[in-house]
Amino acid sequence: MNFEEFNLDASLLDGLKAIGFKEATPVQEAAIPAIIDNKDIIACAQTGTGKTAAFVLPILHKITVTQPSSIDTLIISPTRELAMQIDQQIEGLGYFTGASSKAIYGGVDGKAWETERKALTEGADVIIATPGKLLSFLRQNIGSFQNLKHLVLDEADRMLDMGFYNDIIQIISFLPKERQTLLFSATMPRKIRDLAGKILTDPIEVNIAISKPAENVVQAGFVVYDEQKIPVIEWLLEMSDTKSVIIFASTKSSVKEVTKALSKIRDNVKEIHSDLEQHEREEVLRNFKNKKIDVIVATDIISRGIDIDSISLVINYDVPQDAEDYIHRVGRTARAASEGEAVTLINPKDQNRFAKIENLIGSAIRKAPLPKSVGEGPEYKPTFRKDRNSSYKKKNSFSRNKRKSFKK
């Protein structure tokens, strides 16, 4: 469906044309008309499906038509990275509309705090905020949302996983009951439906997400001992012609260890984790996006909420604890119809976790042979028993012509 068919304001169409957007994604096609029609929505859509534009475009359209004089829209996101990303999308999509937005999150200096206070008191059209930071302002009676028209909860499942349920309920107590509420979540567990039942009115359901990586993601696993992980990563980077690589590790200590090891053999390797100041994390992401950094080693802090289309290789240093998190990590690559590769290092204690991932996505992931230089690895023998109702298939989902070096 072409964006012109939505009858969006001409200034929005100019913005879409300027950034090369032509055809709507399925979640945009389903959500945009309903949002313009002022319906509440509960949408299940994974990262990389175009969900941000699905709510930003119709909201910007209505802002352009109504020209509000106070805060029109509040978007709540789980992390500062995602809040900044949404703010950047609003700036890009709404470039010709004149709509204003401000991202509000923790870890800023006094000057930034003052600009946030000004946006809340004098009114930007759109406020994008993390729950804890916004609530701290509201408890100080800073900011008025009495004329709010739209509330968006983005990555709602992630916010609940991070313990923000009570914060969200408290924030909503400061908002008018007469509003349009849009809830977007990558997964739809019971707790999300319970939340939706409390804050949405007769919502339209949009279900686009399938708990599987995109078809153009080439997946593989290496069954290793812990001491083989760094050598395998070094080999992968040596064999790869990719320029944009993200390595995910579950702990800050692992991130630091991997970064230190790779920095000895490769330039432009940087780390991202919560020990870094916000401006340091922003600088790393900016340099990565601008191709000044080739490799990022990170915790799951960036598994959601960064929008970089050219990431060609994701390496899981360890298997994520939650099978759903695998989908989000892998979803960093093969975005915007591009192709990408995802490799997971599986030690003996993580084999059951990896088997659960295979059960979730409904297919076995090829276990690639280790390079001879690192020696023999352990046998893959998980004890986890797959769900009998799963469409689990013993197939080779790793394309042999994608990475010939994995055969060696």
CATH number assigned to the domain comprising residue 229? 3.40.50.300
pLDDT class of 386 with cuts at 50, 70, 90: low
> Domain check: are 197 and 225 in the same one?
no
Nearest C-alpha neighbor of 120 from the set 186, 58, 74: 74
Between the two ends of the chain, the Cα-to-Cα distance in Å is: 44
> Domain check: are 186 and 46 in the same one?
yes
Please count the helices (runs of H) and the strands (runs of E) in the chain. Answer: 14, 13
> Domain check: are 243 and 360 in the same one?
yes
> Domain check: are 163 and 75 in the same one?
yes
> Domain check: are 224 and 84 in the same one?
no
Q: Per residue in 225-243, pLDDT tens?
A: 999 999 999 999 988 766 7
**Measured between alpha carbons, how far is 304 from 282 in angstroms, rounded to an integer?**
15
Neighbours of 36 (CB within 10 A): 17
To which H or E segment does residue 355 belong?
helix 351-361
DSSP string, 4-32: GGGT--HHHHHHHHHTT--BPPHHHHHHH
At which of 148, 179, 207 does a domain end? 207
Q: What is the structure's pLDDT at 289?
A: 85
> Domain check: are 104 and 86 in the same one?
yes
> Domain check: are 237 and 153 in the same one?
no
Q: What is the structure's pLDDT at 370?
A: 96
> Domain check: are 119 and 247 in the same one?
no
DSSP three-state, residue 379: coil
Q: Is residue 289 part of a domain?
A: yes
pTM, to two decimals: 0.67
Domain count, the chain: 2
Q: Is residue 160 part of a domain?
A: yes
> Domain check: are 122 and 244 in the same one?
no
How far from chain centre, in Å, is Cα 54? 15
Q: Is residue 212 part of a domain?
A: no
> Domain check: are 278 and 190 in the same one?
no
Q: Per residue in 7-46, pLDDT tens?
A: 999 999 999 988 888 889 899 999 999 999 999 999 988 7
Domain that holds residue 77: 3-207
* Percent of the chain whose predicted confidence (pLDDT) is above 70: 86
**Measured between alpha carbons, how far is 84 from 153 in angstroms, rounded to an integer?**
15
